[in-house]
Structure 1
Amino acid sequence: MRWRGRRQSTNVEDRRGRSGTSAFPGGRIRLPMGRAGRAGGGGLSTIIILVILFFGLRALGIDPMEMLAEGPGAPSGGTVERSAANDEMSQFVRVVLAETEDVWNDLFEAEGNRYPEPSLVLFGGQIRSACGFASSASGPFYCPGDKKVYLDLNFFSELANRFGAAGDFARAYVVAHEVGHHVQNVIGVLPRFNQMRQRMSQAEANAMSIRVELQADCFAGIWAHHTAQKGLLEEGDIEEALNAANQIGDDTLQRRTQGYVVPESFNHGTSEQRQRWFARGIESGRPTDCDTFNGPI
């Protein structure tokens, strides 16, 4: 993919190198403490302040115990390692995100709508989102609660080395797929699915989840279609993305990890399905051709 020198999205939060997160722009908030050795130095008033502050933070959805657990030697919230902020992979992700912004802004505008751009959060190790805590082992994910894509860049190494899906467009496919979930959230697909899931059996929820995931694959293909029209793709890019879709199909993953497949437990789609819906998006370039909810998949 010809990405160097292109616009980088500003909708990226780099939280690598941080210990926890903070809701305060200046970083961690330090709790007020009385001066040592001062007789009658406002001990009761300090306790009252601490109690008020504790429950005030809880009301804002902030866990004071988590903040204390960071310890005095931990990096302040908002601190990002200088080397991590400017590395090449981060720049690549910012360009891909910017390209998805351009494509989906144009497609929404063509329908007379506005596309609310998502944020992408880079993290390392573990992260707290509006959807709860997650670790790098979870892989990239989209959280509808805060409308953000979460990505540990180490996943790309695992994608290449463990799953055999190397190449920059394989990585671009991953980002475009998660942005596809954001599009689903905007147009109401994810909210409807989350409401329906509460009344579904596990088997029914898995079957519906597959349709949701395949549509996100198709949306990723739509992005690839319009990116190709800009002349940004290089020879072999589409094959890299199709290989990635193949390597992370439910059947392929289960066969690799446990030696057999359990179709009833699939929730993302088979390798064949993921490749086919991604290819449909590439061939069409139209969101209307990504309806995975009517008819066979």
Structure 2
Amino acid sequence: MTDLNLPDIASQALARARTLDWVGMGGIALPLMFHDQLVNAKARAGVSLDDASARGIHMSRLYLALAALEQEELTPQSIHDVLQQFLVSHEGLSATAYLQLDFDALIKRPALISPLAGWKSYPIRINARLRDEVFHVELSVQVEYSSTCPCSAALARQLIQQQFAKDFADQPLSHEALNAWLGSAEGIVATPHSQRSTAIVEVRLATLAADLPAYTLIDEIEAALGTAVQTAVKRADEQAFALANGQNLMFCEDAARRVDEALRRMPNLTAFKVGITHAESLHAHDAVAHTSWNW
């Protein structure tokens, strides 16, 4: 028996006609090649339903078209081709095609000082849309870093100054005594608080972009912030990380401005938006900042 002999309820006209913005499927398991790495993605695929008299779309045609992404490296062109196939297979029904891909990219990162290295997982999201030959691709990455509060650092320094004045009020100051005091818990009586923080950055790529620059985007964000979280470390790496935090004191507003500045220097971006979250260690709530350009 062929499909021609089976009833097609979805193609039947409706008495009460209405168009729909988006119809499709979510949570589709899909293996992808991304930067020469096989990733386990979840796809959300759909088209608009612009024929008001049609009851539904042909979801299986969307599902089958996604198989083309398994065969080669994921690029803007390969995504465009799949969206084009969505529309070809729904000619007369749909004018707009959509695709969202979510997966984690694994990148091996070296330690700051020692020869150790370890893997970090970066959530990636790709949103694409095709309508009237106009193609948009938006790439989103999530980066974790450490943020040390400038206010807390200033308050800690003040307490250390007060302790210094107290401890050396009635004794001569020598290099040896001061060096010992600086290395003691009795001298450094306070430390600033820091927290694990998150930058979620979404960029819109130029129409002629040849690739999906997720790794470059992640590198630029981490370089701008200066305190990306680490993987395998030795004590020398932990000390270097403490130094990086001390040299990169930042409120969430500072982090947002740093990332904004880095993104404006990147080529082939036509728009971006940045979301910064500092998961406060002092408060029970988060500190949040957002910025955008052309979004």
TM-score by length of 1: 0.25
Relative to its length, the structure with more helix (as a share) is 1
Judging by fraction of residues, say which structure has more strand: 2
